[in-house]
Amino acid sequence: MNTHAHPTRGGAVRRRFHRVVCTAALAALATTAAACSDSNDSAEQITLTVLAYDSFVEPASLATFTAQTGIRVVVAKAGDTGTLVNKAILTKGRPEGDVLWGLDSNLLSRAVNTDGLFVAYESEVLDALDPAATALVPGHEVTPVDIGDVCLNYDRAWFEQRAVAPPTSLEDLAKPAYADLLVVQNPATSAPGLAFLLASVAHFGDTGFAEWWQQLRANGVRVVESWDTAYYDEFSAGGGSGTRPIVVSYASSPPATIIYASDPKPTEPLTASVEASCFRTVEFAGILEGTRHTEAAQLLIDFLVSETFQAELPLSNFVYPVRVGVALPELFERFARPTATPLSLPPDEIEANRERWITAWTDTVLD
């Protein structure tokens, strides 16, 4: 943990809220700065830059935050999750943005153990968030913002047409009935690929996961470099010419086969997830050390876990709200609820063993 940062309670930020808003309003109204001041921000309108991974989609409610506070938000894409985190570490103290969105629990320990990367902040709304998620960061270096489950997805029509039962467990994938049906992502280059590797470690144990992967290799598993390639090019229900009816994706993927389908849209998803395969990941947002707008960034963190913003996440980014009690869209309620008993591993254990597990996987599956 970063022992040099001290969490700031959200209440203190709320008490200073008028100063930040007033500063931004002065610029907008072209008045003088004599009426109010903020040691961190100038009289010009405050603009916060949020660094995010490439697939992040801005929820429309960010405009609400600007309307309420006068603080403008710009999202800058910085590659996949691993690239995003690595860039932040390499530029610590002189960040390319003010807030980082998308640090996940599989890389959490690496980031929060990097001194000088984040400004710790204890939001006043933490009690409204999933306690299992907030427990991952007792030092409040970052704040949980969403939850996702990486799971096997299968093409329902493919299995129905052939009268073959879809897999219901990780063990099923090694059986002859599922030979040459699975496509996965390389855990060295893909976040869902890494999560699926971690799922195998969580299920089979440190000493048993490599043997299972050896069985998958013998059973014809196909490995590609990214989720896009696996889902859109290789998966039989991905909309392309793929031939593999089982893919590593997300518990939240099935509703997308309705939402993005051409009219008339199907009434049920074309795919389903295998609950026993799901690995839980939590994503976080944090204030980057070196920002000139600390108080404004704290206000944004609070907004990211507000009911308004959290309610938009399922349909904009296909992740689950971390705030307890936020209603899911109907399609998610019917076809893609969060996994009841997901697989998981402690972030510190992941950090201590991740590279060794990836190397063992590479030696077993690719070499």
pLDDT in tens, 262-300: 999 999 999 999 999 999 999 999 999 999 999 999 999
* Residue span of the structural domain in which 69 resides: 10-148+281-321
- What CATH number did the domain enclosing 263 receive? 3.40.190.10
Does residue 20 sit in the same domain as residue 114? Answer: yes
Does residue 197 sit in the same domain as residue 187? Answer: yes
Per-residue DSSP letters for 194-247?
Answer: HHHHHHHHHHH-TTTHHHHHHHHHHTT-EEES-HHIIIIIIBTTSSSS--BSEE
Residue 328 counted as domain residue: no
Does residue 349 sit in the same domain as residue 299? Answer: no
In this predicted structure, the answer to whether residue 18 has a pLDDT above a threshold of 90 is no
Residue 5 counted as domain residue: no
What average pLDDT does range 194-220 have in this prediction? 98
Does residue 299 sit in the same domain as residue 354? Answer: no
Residue 329 counted as domain residue: no
Alpha helices in the chain (DSSP H): 10-29, 62-69, 81-90, 108-112, 131-134, 156-161, 191-204, 209-218, 227-228, 256-259, 294-304, 307-317, 330-335, 347-365
Does residue 294 sit in the same domain as residue 260? Answer: no
Spatial neighbors of 15 by CB under 8 A, at least 6 apart, are none
Q: What is the pTM (predicted TM-score) of this model?
A: 0.87
Q: How much is the mean pLDDT over the chain?
A: 90
> What's the number of domains the chain is made of?
2
- 């890389």: which residue's tokens? 107
Does residue 28 sit in the same domain as residue 140? Answer: yes
Residue 86 counted as domain residue: yes
pLDDT reported for residue 42 = 44
Does residue 36 sit in the same domain as residue 178? Answer: no
Does residue 169 sit in the same domain as residue 109? Answer: no
In this predicted structure, the answer to whether residue 39 has a pLDDT above a threshold of 60 is no
Does residue 168 sit in the same domain as residue 273? Answer: yes
What average pLDDT does range 236-250 have in this prediction? 97
pLDDT reported for residue 9 = 43
Residue 40 counted as domain residue: yes
The torsion region of residue 318 among left (phi > 0), alpha (psi -120 to 50) and beta comes to left
In this predicted structure, the answer to whether residue 331 has a pLDDT above a threshold of 60 is yes
Residue 229 counted as domain residue: yes
Does residue 231 sit in the same domain as residue 313? Answer: no
Does residue 286 sit in the same domain as residue 275? Answer: no
pLDDT reported for residue 13 = 45
Residue 43 counted as domain residue: yes
Confidence tier at 156 by pLDDT (50, 70, 90): very high
Does residue 99 sit in the same domain as residue 242? Answer: no
Residue 4 counted as domain residue: no
